[in-house]
Structure formats: structure tokens, C-alpha cells
Amino acid sequence: MARRVNLPRTEYEQELLDIGGEQWGAYENTFIPIEDVWLDTIRKGGAGEQEAMDIAAAEATHALSPIEQGAYQDAFAGGMDPNSGAFIGLATDLATRKASGVSGAVTGAKNENTLGYYDKALTASQYGRGVGSEAITGLGTSAVRSVQADRMEREQEEFNKQASAATRQALYGAAGTAAGIAAGYGLNKYGGTIKDFGSSVGEVLIQQARGRNTLTSW
């Protein structure tokens, strides 16, 4: 069973960890809701568009009406008869031109709204890519760190195994030396007896073999 080694976190590490946690909390609780509101406004059409179109219509009408009235005053001041074809033509021209101006303003407001949506969406997209890039950099760094952590863990495991193996080898070495001494001592003490015994057994075997050979040769 291995004994554990602990290294306590330094004061500075803890400080940074705390700041990171606090700031992430602030971002998530304060800024993300703002960001979400902003992101929700990025859409084409909607109530904002209709409002812009209504305002444009009102502004165009407001701007054109005095011109229309001025034209009538000028016409009457010049002696134009309200029953004349010229007056009827003037009234028709002024009304249709005003209608053209107002409808142009309304459609223009709708187009402006669309362009505004594009601008805002593109800005958001660029900002979003910054978020994505930050995430990928962070995940990439985390991936490398996790591999490094795994390596350090395996190295520690391997180092411990190697150290144990070296200890075991040293033990075997001592055992080998002891066994050698014992074997040498044994050989020395009982070598003659063993030799004699071996010779006797060998002799018997040889004689037996020879005997059989003699018999079979007859």
C-alpha cells in the first residue's frame, strides 16, 4: 500500500481560483442575462419593424402635408379655379405623389430594419466566434493537460514498479550469493561422498551394461 504525498495549494493559486470563481459567477449572473436580452433583440421583423414603419409613414405624411397645402395656396393665389381641370389634376398629382412618398418611406423603414438586423447579427456572430475560439483554446489546453496528467500518473506508477523491481533484484542478488556459499560449502563437505556414491552407481550401471552386452554377444 503506497503512502500518500500531498502538496497543499499555494496562497496565490487559491487567490486566483477564487477570483476565477467570483468573476465567472459575476459573468453568469449579471452579464449573461444582459447578453441574452441583447441576443433576443436580434431578429428580423417583429414589433420593432412595424413601429418603425408606422413612424416613417407618420413622418412622411407630416413632412409632405405642408408642401401640399402650400401648393394649393399658391394655386389659389394665382387665380386657379377649384372647378378647373388644372386644379383637379394638381390635387390628383399631389395626392398620388404623397402616397408614393409615404409608401417609399414605409418600405424603406422596413428595409432599414432588415439592414439593422444584419448589422447586429454580424456583430453578434463575430462576438460569438470569440466565445467559440476561447472555448476551443480552453478545451485544447485542457486536453493537453489531461494527457500530461495521465502521463505523470503513469510515470509515477512505472517509477514505483521499477523501484520495487530494483529492490527485488537486490534481494535476489543477496539470496543468490547466500545460495552460492551454501552450495560451495556443501560441495566441499560432501563432494567426496557424492563422488564416491556417483562412481559406485556408475560402476554398477556400466557393469550391468557390459554384462548384458557380453550375454548378447554370445
Identify which of 62, 57, 84 has the alpha carbon closest to the alpha carbon of residue 72.
Answer: 84
Stretch that binds other proteins, among 142-150, 200-208, 209-217 (CB under 8 A): 142-150
Q: Kindly state the smallest distance separating residue 197's Cβ from other proteins, in Å.
A: 18
The vertex-99 CA angle with 95 and 105, nearest 5°, equals: 145
Q: What 8-state DSSP symbol labels residue 10?
A: P
Which amino acid belongs to residue 11? Answer: E
Using CB under 8 A as the binding rule, the residues of this chain from 181 to 210 that contact other proteins are 181-185, 187-188, 191
Identify which of 155, 189, 56 has the alpha carbon closest to the alpha carbon of residue 113.
Answer: 56
For other proteins, the closer CB: 63 or 99: 99
Q: Kindly state the smallest distance separating residue 23's Cβ from other proteins, in Å.
A: 10
With contact defined as beta carbons under 8 Å apart, do 58 and 109 qualify? no
* 21 lines the binding site for other proteins (CB under 8 A): yes
Q: How many residues bind other proteins (CB under 8 A)?
A: 107
Sign of CA dihedral 162, 164, 167, 171: negative
List the one residue from 153, 192, 201, 208 that touches other proteins (CB under 8 A).
153
The vertex-38 CA angle with 32 and 44, nearest 5°, equals: 140
For other proteins, the closer CB: 189 or 210: 189
* 151 lines the binding site for other proteins (CB under 8 A): yes
Using CB under 8 A as the binding rule, the residues of this chain from 51 to 110 that contact other proteins are 72, 82-83, 85, 87-89, 91-92, 94-96, 98-100, 102-104, 106-107, 110
With contact defined as beta carbons under 8 Å apart, do 71 and 90 qualify? yes
Using CB under 8 A as the binding rule, the residues of this chain from 43 to 62 that contact other proteins are 43-44
List the one residue from 19, 67, 139, 194 that touches other proteins (CB under 8 A).
139
Q: Kindly state the smallest distance separating residue 201's Cβ from other proteins, in Å.
A: 22
Q: Kindly state the smallest distance separating residue 207's Cβ from other proteins, in Å.
A: 30
The torsion defined by the Cα of 97, 102, 108 and 113, in degrees rounded to 10, comes to 180
